[in-house]
Amino acid sequence: WENHNTWGLGFTSFKVTTQLPGVTAEAILEHIRNPSLRAQWDIVFREGTIVEQIDDHNAIVHEVFEPLIEGSTPHDYALLMSWREAADGSIVVAKRSIYHEMIPPL
C-alpha cells in the first residue's frame, strides 16, 4: 500500500497492486464497478446504484455501507467514479466524493 497526501489538499489516495492468476483486469474492474457484484466481496457494502452513466469511463454512483459501530447508522456517499485502462493493460479506478442533487444524504 502506498498512501499519499494528494496535491497537498488533504486528500488521501491509495495505490494497490496485485496479480491474481487466471483473473483478468476486466473481471476485477467489473466487480468494483457493478454494485450487485460488490456485495459478494465487501462485507460492509449494503447497496449501491449507478445514478448517472456519464460516458464509457465515468459514472455518478451512490454507495451505502453498514454501520461500523454497533448502534450507529449506515453511511452513504455520492461519488464520481472514473476508470481507465493503461497501455500496459493495468486499470486505474478513482472515486471522489461529490454533491449530487439526485442523492440526498441518508
The pTM score is 0.77
How much of the chain exceeds pLDDT 90, in percent? 42
Q: Which of 37, 49, 36 is nearest to 76 (CA)?
A: 49
Average pLDDT of span 33-61:
92
Determine the structural domain holding residue 59 and report its residue range: 46-100
In a domain, 2, yes or no: no
Domain count, the chain: 1
DSSP line for 10-73 = TEEEEE-----TT--HHHHHHHHH-HHHHHHH-TTEEEEEEEEEEETTEEEEEEEE--SSTT--
In a domain, 31, yes or no: no
In a domain, 60, yes or no: yes
Per the model's pLDDT, the better-predicted residue between 16 and 92 turns out to be 92
pLDDT tens-digit readout, 49-84: 999 999 999 999 999 999 989 899 999 999 999 998
The predicted pLDDT at position 3 comes to 46
In a domain, 20, yes or no: no
In a domain, 21, yes or no: no
**Cα separation, 100 vs 50, whole angstroms:** 12
Task: Supply φ then ψ for residue 77, to 5 degrees.
Answer: -140, 140
